[in-house]
Each structure stands twice: as C-alpha cells, then as structure tokens.
Amino acid sequence: MAMSVGNGGGDEAPMSDINTTPLVDVMLVLLIIFLITVPVITKTVKLELPKAVNIPTQTKPENITVAVDEKGGIYWNGTAVSNRDELLERVVKAAVLVPQPEVHIRGDKNARYEAIGRVIYTIQRGGIIKVGFLTEPDRGIRGAR
C-alpha cells in the first residue's frame, strides 16, 4: 500500500484521496476466478435424450382406464370402485392376462396428488407393468381457465 506523507516540510496537509489500486487488483482476481470456474460448473453429463412425440392414444379393448375424480373417487373403466382393496383385486386379476393390458390413468385437474399417487402405488403392487397418464391436448390457448 502506498501513502503520500508529504515532502517532510510539515506545512502540507495529508493526502485525502482513496487509493483504488488494491480494489482494482482484488476485482481482477475475482473476475479471473469467475471466468475459470464458470465452464466447470456448466459441464453436464453428455447424454442423448429421447425424442418425444405426441401421438394419440390407441385405445385397445384390453386397455384399462382408471379415473380419479376431484374428490378422490376411483373408477375402473367407468365403474366406481369402493376402495383401494377392491382396486388391488381387479389389478391382480388383470395382471395375469396375456398379453398384459395397459392401465391408463385419468386424473381430474383438481384431484389431490395424494389420491393419484395411491392409485399408482396400488397398480404397481398389483403387478401391472405398463402405466400411462391421459391428458387433454394443448389447444394453443394460453392462460384461459
């Protein structure tokens, strides 16, 4: 650090200017560290991600549709199911069929995630391998409710 103390005459006032050289040095060091670490942070694992294509669901007679309404009610192909044990019985019966049917879950927009999660868990316990979700296609209307 440099400081001007005058010429030794004693009649001059001390210099009151701020020495910004250390500040500039620190900022340059921080900039260099930032430039070195950013490429390291942004590196990711190189993967080839699958391409998604929205195709309409092909409804086959053996497919099963399980619907969950806003209140958590469960429906098996349009027929109300009284509880999860009954759903499990139906899933176990369907799981042994050859070829095994797909289960399509239709969840109401306002249904609790917990209710749909329990249905998925029950289907998984029953042994069904292929499970999918049915949604409404995007009609291009944004923000409309």
Question: Across residues 1-24, what is the average pLDDT?
Answer: 70
Q: Is residue 83 part of a domain?
A: yes
CATH number for position 127? 3.30.420.270
Contact 103, 64 (CB under 8 A): yes
pLDDT of res. 16: 77
Domains held by the chain: number: 1
Question: Across residues 68-87, what is the average pLDDT?
Answer: 92
- Angle, CA 138 vertex, CA 133 and CA 140 arms, to 5°: 170
Q: Is residue 15 part of a domain?
A: no
pLDDT of res. 64: 92
Comparing 46 with 3, the larger pLDDT belongs to 46
Comparing 60 with 101, the larger pLDDT belongs to 101
Q: Which helix (H) or strand (E) holds 93?
A: helix 84-95
Task: Return d(Cα 138, Cα 53) in angstroms, integer.
Answer: 14
Burial label for 119, CB within 10 Å (0-12, 13-18, 19+), is buried
Q: Is residue 84 part of a domain?
A: yes
Q: Chain-wide mean pLDDT for the chain?
A: 81
Q: Is residue 98 part of a domain?
A: yes
Per the structure, the complete domain to which residue 100 belongs is given by: 64-133
Specify the pairing of strand 131-133 against strand 79-81.
unpaired
pLDDT of res. 144: 47
3-class SS at 113? Answer: helix
* Number of Cβ within a 10 Å radius of residue 141: 7
| pLDDT higher than threshold 70 for residue 5 | no
Query: Minimum mean pLDDT among 51-55, 73-77, 138-142: which range?
Result: 138-142
pTM for the structure as a whole = 0.56
pLDDT of res. 121: 95
DSSP state of 51: P
Q: What's the pLDDT tens digit per position in 18-62?
A: 888 888 999 999 999 988 887 766 666 666 666 655 666 666 768
DSSP state of 105: E
